[in-house]
């Protein structure tokens, strides 16, 4: 029996506040949104190279997913549900080890095991040029306008101006294979991760070994890197098997704002953080994992409270990539499948009616009196 004293509106607001506080008690966050029960689409990926250090998928601005499988690079048009072969190498040891779309979606860069980089025009299936700069396999690529940045097993990072025929400049700071590269979209900052357990942040015009920040708190290789779309100086990084941590860095101050063990309560003690993707529509981050769980985990930012998990892969996840509209994420698994998840809802669907449904009939804010 509720006895209203004073303003009825005040008491109604207090009841709803109590309901919300009860939902968030003991650190349990109940999200006002639903997660998909399974992947929207499954594509088979035969001849996949099951190598943690490679980056074999990239979802381009024109809704075309580039995938390197064995000695072949495929283009999957997600809108038309069509697949075509872009290129296929003849020599068994010259297989592709990384792919990356340019910012305008007109060009695809492919790194190879033989240290070569090729620039392709996918619309005409024409090889535009080849770049020879590294001395070992090129496992990571990232674009910034006309600058293509490559990371290699030879530990170097090279920025190539694709309009010229010489490398723009070389960055040296890692002592192990550079397996992660990511340019920020709004800032001229480059993040690099390596098999030396280090993360570096470089400014756009820096040269040689003059990094802006060096982060050395991971205890395993760092491949998973993601710049936050709504906080331009925020970088997320994930460590490999011996580390399994997700860390959130402030690239302006060089401080680590958040560090969590991705599965601190899990019975599986050897987990990899294989990929990270921020939700562009809400303050959330999605991580892909290998060994033990083989799942994707969605967390709320900045609390990093777990919202839910996405399961379906039968083996470890190797790579993640996000659709151009920011609504879907594709995961590449060692079970030789590509799975597309509609996990990032657009704002109109994510915010309509979710809170009311969660509060339920007890909420006076959602009660309809006729």
Convert the pLDDT of each residue in 102-130 to its tens digit.
Answer: 999 999 999 999 999 999 999 999 999 99
At 348 the pLDDT is 58
Q: What CA–CA distance (Å, rounded) separates 202 from 73? A: 30
Strands of 126-132's sheet in order across: 96-101, 108-112, 116-121, 126-132
Predicted confidence pLDDT, tens digits, the chain (370 residues): 444 445 544 444 554 555 455 545 544 445 467 899 999 999 999 999 999 999 999 999 999 999 999 999 999 999 999 999 999 999 888 999 999 999 999 999 999 999 999 999 999 999 999 999 999 999 999 999 999 999 999 999 999 999 887 767 899 999 999 999 999 988 899 999 999 999 999 998 766 668 999 999 999 999 999 999 999 999 999 999 889 899 999 999 999 999 998 655 444 444 789 999 999 999 999 999 987 679 999 999 999 999 999 999 999 999 999 999 999 999 999 999 999 999 997 755 544 444 434 434 333 333 332 3
Q: What CA–CA distance (Å, rounded) separates 321 from 316? A: 15
**Buried b or exposed e, range 67-85, using 16+ CB within 10 angstroms:** bbbebbbbbbebeeeeeee
At 85 the pLDDT is 98
At 167 the pLDDT is 65
As a whole number, the mean pLDDT across the chain is: 86
Q: What CA–CA distance (Å, rounded) separates 114 from 313? A: 30
For the purposes of burial, counting CB atoms within 10 Å of the CB of 157, is it exposed (0-12), middle (13-18) or buried (19 or more)? buried
Cβ atoms < 10 Å from Cβ of 253: 10
By the 8 A CB rule, do 226 and 285 touch?
yes
Terminal-to-terminal C-alpha distance of the chain: 21
By the 8 A CB rule, do 182 and 157 touch?
no
Residues 6+ apart with CB under 8 A from 231: none
**Nearest CA among 78, 55, 79, 82 for reference residue 67:** 55
pTM summary value: 0.85
């Amino acid at each position: 029996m509720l006895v209203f004293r004073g303003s009825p509106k005040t008491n109604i607001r207090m009841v709803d506040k109590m309901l919300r506080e009860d939902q968030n008690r003991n650190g349990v966050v109940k999200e006002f949104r639903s997660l998909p029960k399974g992947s929207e689409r499954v594509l088979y990926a035969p001849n996949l190279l099951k190598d943690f250090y490679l980056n074999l998928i990239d979802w381009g601005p024109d809704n075309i997913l580039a995938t390197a499988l064995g000695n072949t690079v495929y283009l999957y048009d997600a809108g038309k549900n069509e697949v075509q072969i872009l290129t296929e190498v003849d020599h068994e040891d010259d297989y592709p080890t990384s792919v990356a779309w340019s910012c305008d979606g007109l060009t695809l860069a492919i790194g190879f095991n033989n240290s070569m980089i090729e620039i392709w025009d996918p619309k005409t299936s024409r090889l535009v040029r080849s770049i020879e700069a590294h001395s070992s396999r090129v496992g990571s690529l990232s674009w910034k306008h006309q600058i293509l940045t490559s990371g290699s097993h030879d530990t170097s990072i090279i920025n190539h101006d694709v309009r010229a025929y010489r490398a723009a400049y070389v960055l040296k700071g890692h002592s192990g294979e550079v397996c992660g590269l990511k340019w920020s979209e709004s800032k001229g900052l480059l993040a690099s991760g390596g098999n030396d357990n280090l993360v570096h942040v470089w400014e756009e015009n820096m040269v040689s070994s003059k990094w802006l920040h060096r982060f050395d708190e991971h205890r395993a290789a760092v491949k998973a890197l993601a710049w936050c779309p709504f906080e331009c100086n925020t970088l997320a990084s994930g460590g490999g098997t011996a580390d399994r941590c997700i860390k959130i860095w402030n690239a302006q101050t060089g401080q680590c704002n958040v560090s969590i063990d991705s599965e601190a309560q899990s019975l599986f003690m050897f987990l990899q953080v294989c990929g990270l993707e921020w939700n562009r529509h809400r303050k959330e981050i999605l991580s892909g994992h290998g060994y033990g769980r083989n799942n994707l985990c969605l967390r709320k930012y900045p609390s990093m409270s777990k919202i839910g998990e996405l399961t379906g892969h039968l083996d470890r996840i190797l790579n993640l990539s996000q659709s151009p509209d920011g609504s879907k994420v594709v995961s590449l698994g060692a079970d030789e499948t590509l799975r597309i998840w509609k996990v990032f809802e657009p704002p109109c669907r994510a915010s309509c009616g979710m809170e009311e449904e969660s509060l339920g009939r007890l909420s006076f804010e959602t009660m309809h009196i006729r």
